[in-house]
Amino acid sequence: MPVSSLPLQASRCSRALALVALILITGLTGCGPGSRIIVPDQLSDADLRLGFSSGENRDNGDFAEQLVVRGRLSDGGTIYSKLTVANIANADGRADFNVDIKLGDGRRAKYRVRKDKGDWTYGSDRFSVEVGNARVELAVGRSTITVDDDAFKLELVIESELPAIRPPGGLFDSGGAFYMTTLPIPRGRMALTLEVREPLALPEAPEAADSDGAAEAEDGDVADAPEEAAKEDEGPEVLELEGIGYAEHRAGNLPPYLLAHAWFNVLEIGDDVTLVMSAFEKKRTPGSLPKDHGRARGWLIVATDDELVLYEPTVDVWVRGESPDEVTGYSLPQLVYLADPEGRLFKGVIKTGPMSARKDDLSNLKKLERLVVRRLMKPWTFSYNQAEYLFRRQIPGEPMVEHRGTGLFRYQQLDE
């Protein structure tokens, strides 16, 4: 069945199931031929500067922003880094930075720092932040992260020929309240140098836990490895790795519980292609129209090293086929559909498959904090590691562009 006939009504759900079955039978392929995507609004380095550098944002008690960098390393490892600057929840201009490097051999290098307003610095004309022993810089086509700590020294560079993107589907702006998404680097070549100064954490350290597991680390963290005797005849271990990276910057002055009811996200950072889709369903309010319930708006990119194969700056996202979660009672999506707002050029479908993980997003808060936040929202994130998808764009008179595959789909619901 051609994607152009993807169902829009619940009564035609069986036809969508047939489409998903077709995807499974025919196998997974890459991107087909198509014309090069042109991004109309080219962003400059100044456009990417830290949002907190604006006095209007610094003075807003609900302002928060974060820069997230993700990457796959050539040795099979990964890197994840997040810089958060916020006023919300009495943070009052606090900066939090963390980086987590998982090497292919299982060892882990981690650095975390938190600094109050006035104890960290930033640039006003471009994205440049120094917090603790870390420095983060961002420009069109280039991102750098350096950490010079007792345990290790990190130098990370991501470079890309692709334009920085600010998709309209990731923007909310109403009466001064706003939320904005920017992709400074949709896909980039990554070079990482890690100088190991102290033994890194190991994937397994049974001696660090007592008989009932009380000393086990939380959130998947591993216990520190026992220190080894220093070898006088050897200097620090230096690792040089390559990989593929992705950078995403989000900023806004609207608290999550007022912005969205639910989020939909797909992420695939592959050897040849990076796929990212993000959409949110607006907060449900007594005055909202019934037609708005269950419909989200967002954006999608499919990028190679050289070009944006697919760029959908605005997509509508909706669910057909739900199942109740036995733990939370939330209705979880089985089939998710996407289309451009007119429903003419771009359409897609995601089959979530079996759930891989379920997480209470308030689990790390203290008991009193949980009680307060639960009055506003009860966020849970559901992960599906083997979600299958098919996306197609057909412009009249041009070759069809198609991308299909398997990747990570996450659904986050913030309230009932």
- pLDDT at residue 19 above 50? no
What confidence tens digit (pLDDT) does each residue in 139-179 have?
999 999 999 999 999 999 999 999 999 999 999 998 889 99
**pLDDT band, residue 288 (cuts 50/70/90):** low
**What are the two backbone dihedrals, phi and then psi, of residue 289, each rounded to the nearest 5 degrees?**
-80, 145
For CA atoms 303, 309, 311, 317, give the dihedral sign.
negative
What confidence tens digit (pLDDT) does each residue in 260-269 have?
999 999 999 9
Q: Tally DSSP H helices, then E strands, for the chain.
A: 4, 23
What confidence tens digit (pLDDT) does each residue in 197-226 have?
999 988 764 443 333 333 333 333 333 444
| Strand boundaries in 283-400, DSSP class E | 295-303, 308-319, 322-324, 331-333, 335-339, 346-351, 357-360, 380-393
Cβ-defined contacts of 113-120 (< 8 Å, 24+): 116/92, 117/92, 117/93, 118/93, 120/95
**What is the DSSP secondary-structure string of 139-171?**
ETTEEEEEEE-SSEEEEEEEE-SSPPB--GGG-
Range from 47-56, 228-237, 249-258, 289-298 carrying the lowest mean pLDDT? 228-237
Q: What is the value of pTM for the model shown? A: 0.82
Q: Does domain 41-197+236-254 have CATH number 3.40.50.1000?
A: no
